[in-house]
A and B are shown apart, each in its own frame.
Chain A
């Protein structure tokens, strides 16, 4: 049973990790927390649901559709909720936090109007296919989720580390003004970041639908909160922190239920986070910025 629960935990954790990556990318570049990310993720889940369950199209189409829709939402979010505030003089970081909260409430209400409240079935044709690996039952869905999230995380890490645009993005994250002086189109980089982060949210949404079979317009809130906790746990703005943090939280939650008391699932998971933060206040992979040490 331990290994099966571990598989459950790793599946849950890798979904957490992808949600958290969306937060951490935007935070790394813009120094703001995008509170609308959870709702964009929720829209990705609904788009995937419509494509797979209602239209009966194959799963890759669902991923593509979710990426296109959430990417476009990211573009609009950056254009109308973030850029005007970035340009305006004397605006604090809190303003963009509030404007993204506004967007998140708007999106949640729109989802309720368009899709209706309550649970929607997310049907995948192979939900019941399972196989045994050395005495452990693994579902095809779980394997697929793991594969997609690992591919996504590796791809992102490679892109950031090896490519020219990845370097430009990291430069923008390091210092907006300097990157601009060095010839990086910072506006383009910021837009690209928000779009990529949102599209990853869309992918995560489809994965959640596949994993749990049901989605509703509240999943953005619950998953979003977990994502926020993970980026603080892993280190604000750290890509590897989000990955490790997501996996640790997912596994911790599952094991609490498996060997402890399911009533304490969230409390023990978050207690772990608090303990880690007491020992490493900057988070697992975070670097305490010199300016922050007071």
Chain B
């Protein structure tokens, strides 16, 4: 008797839901446009405090993409934007709210790798796909099968720039220089060393420096005496620009290869002419002439009055990747969306052709840039 009751209740529920769903899901036979897939997507970003500049660029990128996607009509996206304040615990609370009370189908963000380390496992355990747009640290997609990112890790950027320089200038012997008191520059150096080994380059010397150091003459004199073909330098731009300037003044004219920390227009601003010959790899280059990039830069400029940076571009592409996966999934369902997202291959965005590899990490070709005539230009 009890069992019968349960079955009939379940049946009744099923019937009811079919009835309601039927109205929306049934394909109209008369050829009119299909009703869009409605999806509520959570965003966790830094909106206040230190790092709010990143959050602003990122959410601007999302909003621009949302308006464009909704105008097309196949997918209708509602963004629920939460502030993490660059704090792990606040990011986690925001994620729990998005997952449990807003019932979002996916989460974009958070901004920092540190935040992802706590938010990622929570989303993964709840079966909510989460896509980081600015998290470059090691081990992010490895958190679990619901965790993705579309931000280019240094371990992909540095080999691209080193490879291009080695090929063009026939580099055999190199000198390495890095800041030994910063996790970011240290990990960039580790990648440089590994890539040098892989390419069979002879490492003449490894020189270290500390943040805020003013005098690099001793290190540079030593490097100059060994006559390397190129210098691989893992530094943030403040120190990097000073190193470049002092090196050029000493007559060291070989190319410099920098990591992502070196990739800032500020380098040219500080080092002026000495920045010439600096090579970096980046996922985003605003002056790339493709129609997609031109259109994005124009629309972003019109909406927000400035040029989109790397963070805005990565966010913009991320929402498009998500919308594309939603279309293929056919419904705003967390599990189906995850599978469709994982199957993303050769997505054509403003960052170029983008795929997720088998481990849900980034697979793309970064742009290699060189400083020439006072600005970053494509390196050929």
A residues whose Cβ falls under 8 Å from a Cβ of B: 1, 4-5, 8-9, 11-12, 118-119, 121, 127-128, 208, 211-216, 218-219, 222-223, 253-254, 257-258, 261-263, 265-266
Contacts and interface: CB of A to CB of B under 8 A. Distances in A.
Contacts of B213: 222
A8 B221 contact: yes
B272 A218 contact: no
B84 to A, nearest CB: 25
Output the residue of B213, B218, B222 with the most chain A CB within 10 A: B218
A213 B207 contact: no
Given A213-B245, A213-B249, A263-B180, A5 B218 contact: yes
B215 A4 contact: no
Given A4-B221, A127-B249, A263-B180, 8 more contacts: A1-B222, A8-B218, A121-B245, A121-B270, A212-B246, A214-B245, A216-B238, A262-B209
Contacts of B270: 118-119, 121, 214
Given A119-B241, A121-B272, A214 B214 contact: yes
A258 B238 contact: no
B212 A254 contact: no
A258 B205 CA distance: 11
Contacts of A121: 245, 270, 272
Contact of A258 (B210, B218, B245, B246): B218
A258 B270 CA distance: 27
A266 B210 contact: yes
Grouping DSSP codes into helix (H, G, I), strand (E, B) and loop, the A interface class, with mixed when no group exceeds half, is: helix
Contact of B222 (A11, A223, A257): A257
8 interchain residue pairs of minimum CB distance: A257-B218, A263-B208, A212-B214, A254-B218, A262-B208, A1-B225, A262-B207, A214-B242
Given A118-B270, A208-B214, A222-B212, A262 B242 contact: no
B222 A12 contact: no
B365 interface: no
Interface in B176-217: 180, 207-210, 212-215, 217
Interface residues of B, number: 24
B219 interface: yes
Interface of B: 180, 207-210, 212-215, 217-219, 221-222, 225, 238, 241-242, 245-246, 249, 266, 270, 272
Contacts of A118: 238, 266, 270
Contacts of A266: 210
A128 B238 contact: no
A5 B221 contact: yes
A254 B215 CA distance: 10
A138 B53 CA distance: 45
A264 to B, nearest CB: 9
A218 B239 CA distance: 13
A213 B219 contact: no
A218 B208 CA distance: 20
Nearest to A11: B217
Contact of A212 (B215, B221, B222, B241): B215
Output the residue of B219, B221, B225, B272 with the most chain A CB within 10 A: B221
Contacts of B209: 262
A141 B10 CA distance: 88
Contacts of A219: 214
Output the residue of B180, B208, B215, B249 with the most chain A CB within 10 A: B215
B253 to A, nearest CB: 12
A215 to B, nearest CB: 8
6 contacts: A119-B242, A214-B214, A222-B213, A253-B218, A262-B207, A263-B180
B234 to A, nearest CB: 14
B240 to A, nearest CB: 10
B182 to A, nearest CB: 13
A118 B242 CA distance: 11
A258 B221 contact: yes
B219 A257 contact: yes
Contacts of A218: 212
Given A1-B221, A8-B221, A266-B210, A211 B249 contact: no
Contacts of A1: 221-222, 225
B190 to A, nearest CB: 14
Contacts of B241: 119, 214
Contacts of B272: 121
B210 A213 contact: no
Nearest to A208: B214
Nearest to B272: A121
A121 B214 CA distance: 12
Contacts of B222: 1, 5, 257-258
B211 to A, nearest CB: 9
A174 to B, nearest CB: 37
Contacts of B221: 1, 4-5, 8, 258
